[in-house]
Chains A and B, each alone.
Chain A
Amino acid sequence: MNVRVFQTLLKRELGFYLTTLTGYVILSMVMFLIGLSLLTVILAYNGRAMDAPLTEAFYATPFFWFIVLLACPAITMRSFAHEKSTGTYEALMTTPVSNLQIVFSKFLASWIFYGLMWLPLWGFMVWLGQFFNDPEYLDAGIVGGTALGVMLLGGLFLAIGCLASVATKSQLIAAMLALTLEMVLFMLSFVIELLPDQSGWQATLFGHICLFDHMGDFVRGIINGSHLIFYFTGTGLFLFLTWRWVESRK
C-alpha cells in the first residue's frame, strides 16, 4: 500500500468533513444531544448518591443510541454516493490507486470524524470527574472501556454505512439504507429477551449479536474478547462487501 497516496486520500476525505457545512451540522447536533444526555444524568442524580458508573448512567439515557443510530448514516452517506452522483468517482477510479485504498481511506476518515464527534463527551467526563471521590464510578478504565465500545460500535455502523453508500448514487437512499440495516441489528438485540429458552443455541447466537450486552460491559470498563471479535469480524465483513462492490464495477 502506497502510504503517500493513502495520506492524500485520507486528507481529502477528512477535509471534506471539516471544511463543509455537513460536517459541522453533524458535530453540533451530536454536541447538543451529548449535552442533553448529561443534563439528564445530572438532574437524575441531583442530591442522590451514584449507584452506577457515570458512563453507565450516560448510556442509560435514550440519547446514546439516538446519537449512534442517526450520526453514522449521516457521516457515511456521502462517502461513495456523492462521488458517484457528481461523477468524480470515475475520475478517482481511473487514477493508479487500488480499490482497497479507496475503501479503507473513506472508512478511516469517517471513523476519525466519528471519534472527533464524541470528544465533548470525554470533556464532560473529565470535568465531572473532579466531583467524584470514589474511583468505582469514574476512572480511566471505565472511560477507556466506554470509549473503546463507542469506537467499535461506530466502526461497525460506519462500515455498514460505507456499503450502503457504495450501493447507490443517492445520498438520501444511502442514509436510509444504512439506517435500516443498523435498525435491523439494533432490533435483533432485543430478540434474546424474548426467547423463552435462555439456554439453547438461539440464546447463544442472539446473545453474541446483542449490542446492549456489549455496550453494557464496555460502559463498566469490561472488555470481553468475544465482543472484540464480534466488532472486528462485523466491521471487516461490511468493509469486505464494500470492497467487492467497488471491484465488481461493470
Chain B
Amino acid sequence: MIEVEQLTKRYAGHTALRALSFSVKKGQIVGFLGPNGAGKSTTMRIMSTFMPPTSGRIQIAGYDVARKPMEVRKRIGYMPENNPLHLDMRVEEYLRFRAGLKGVSADRLRTRLGEVLELCDLTNVKRKIIGQMSKGYRQRVGVADAILHQPEVIILDEPTIGLDPHQVRLFRKLISSLATEHTVLLSTHILSEVELTCDRILILHDGKLLADDSKETIHRRLGSLTHVVAEIAAPWEGLSQSLEAMPSIADFKMEDLKHGFLKCHLTARDEIDIRPLLFEEIKHRGWTLRELTRQQPALEDLFVHLTHVRPNQKDV
C-alpha cells in the first residue's frame, strides 16, 4: 500500500531524512516512533503531498506522490501535526466543508456523515463550535475528517498529543476499529502508545530508520532486556557464588537491605525465564525468599538502547 524508497529531504542547513526506505502492507497499523526532530513529520508531510522530497520516492496505492499528487490526495486521509481545524466552524459544518473539498458526493455524504459522527462519538456535539470544544473532542474531529472520504491510507501525525489518559484510551479504541478497512500510519514519541496500538513499529532517529519490526519481534528484543528482582535472606558470599554458578544468569547486582535480606537485580541470558530456576536454587540452599518479580522493560528501554538517548533527553 505504501512504498518508500531512498527518501531524502534536505532543508537549508540540515538533512531531515537520509535515504529512508520501508513499505507498509494493506490493513496494517504502523507506528512511527522517534524523538522530536527525528523526521517523522517530514516523512508524513511528503507522504501527504504537502512537500516534495529532495530525492527518493513514495508510492501510495500505486501512485507516486510527486508525480500524481491529486490521485494520492484522493486516497489518503491526513491529520497534520497539532490537528489544525477551523475553530470558528461547527463540527458538522466543518465536516461538510471538508467533504466538499474531498469530492464526497452529496448523496454519499448523507449516510457517510452520520457514520463518521457515530464512529468518532461526535453525534451529540455536532452543532458545537470547534473552538469551544475540549482537546479530546477536537482530536476526534480531526480523525473524523481524515476518514470522511474512506481513504485507503490514514496518516495521523501525533494524534494523541495533549490528551489525558482516558482520552488516549478512547482514541486507541478508535484507531484499532479503523484498521479493518484502512491502512493506518501514526506517529508518536510516546512509546507505550505504539506498543498498545500498532502491529508494526518503525523507529526513526536523526532521519534514519533504526528498527522496523513487528510488535512480536520488538517484544522479543525487549525480552533480552528483561530483568528480575529478588529479595533473599542469605549470606552475601554464598549467594554471590551460587548466582555466578548459574549459567542462565548473564549479569547481576546485589545490595544489602536491613534485617539480613539482600536485593538482587538479575539479567537473564537469552530469553530464559530465570524465576523458577532461582526459586529452586534458593529452596535447595534453604534460604528465605520474600520477593521475586520480573520487571517488563518498556519500549522506552529498547528505544534508549537503540538511540543512546537518555529518556529525559528524548524531547529535546
Contact B88 A19 (CB under 8 A): yes
Question: What's the Cα separation between A12 and B45 when bound, in Å?
Answer: 24
When the two chains form their complex, are residues B84 and A20 in contact, meaning their CB atoms are under 8 A apart?
A: no
Scan B21-43; emit 1 where CB is below 8 A from any A CB, else 0.
00000000000000000000000
The number of residue pairs between A and B whose CB atoms lie closer than 8 Å in the complex comes to: 65
How far, in whole Å, are A92 and B97 apart by their CA atoms in the complex?
Answer: 11
- The reply to whether B98 and A95 form a contact with Cβ atoms under 8 Å apart is yes
Number of residues from A at the complex interface, CB < 8 A: 26
B221 at the binding interface (Cβ < 8 Å) = no
Q: Is the CB of A9 within 8 A of B101?
A: yes
Partner among A16, A89, A95, A249 whose Cβ is within 8 Å of the Cβ of B101: A95
Find out whether the CB atom of A94 lies under 8 angstroms from the CB atom of B48. Answer: yes
A13 to chain B, nearest CB (A): 11
Which residue of A11, A16, A20, A91 contacts B80 across the interface (Cβ within 8 Å)? A91
Please measure, in the bound complex, the distance between the C-alpha atom of A92 and the C-alpha atom of B73, giving whole angstroms.
11
- Bitwise, A218-250 to B at CB < 8 A (1) or not (0) is 000000000000000000000000000000011
Q: How many residues of B contact A (CB 8 A)?
A: 27
Nearest residue in A to B11 (C-beta to C-beta)?
A: A250
User: A96 contacts which chain B residues (CB < 8 A)?
Assistant: 70, 73-74, 101-103
Q: Is the CB of A97 within 8 A of B101?
A: yes
Q: Which B residues, 60 to 115, have Cβ-Cβ distances below 8 Å to chain A? A: 70, 73-74, 76, 78-82, 84-88, 97-98, 100-103
For the complex, what is the distance from the CA of A32 to the CA of B80, rounded to whole Å? 42
Which chain B residues in 202-258 approach chain A with CB under 8 Å? none
Segment 89-125 of A: residues with Cβ below 8 Å from B: 89-98
Q: Which of B73, B82, B85 contacts A94 (CB 8 A)?
A: B73
Q: Do A91 and B78 touch across chains, with their CB atoms under 8 A apart?
A: yes
A249 and B82 in contact (CB under 8 A), knowing A90-B45, A96-B74, A96-B102? no
> Which of A4, A87, A90, A94 is packed against the most chain B CB atoms within 10 Å?
A94
A-B contact pairs, 24 of them (CB 8 A): A5-B103, A8-B97, A8-B101, A12-B86, A20-B88, A86-B84, A86-B87, A88-B85, A90-B80, A91-B85, A91-B145, A93-B50, A94-B49, A94-B73, A94-B76, A95-B73, A95-B98, A95-B102, A96-B70, A96-B73, A96-B74, A96-B101, A96-B103, A97-B101
Residues of A within 8 A of B (CB): 2, 4-5, 7-9, 11-12, 16, 19-20, 86-98, 249-250
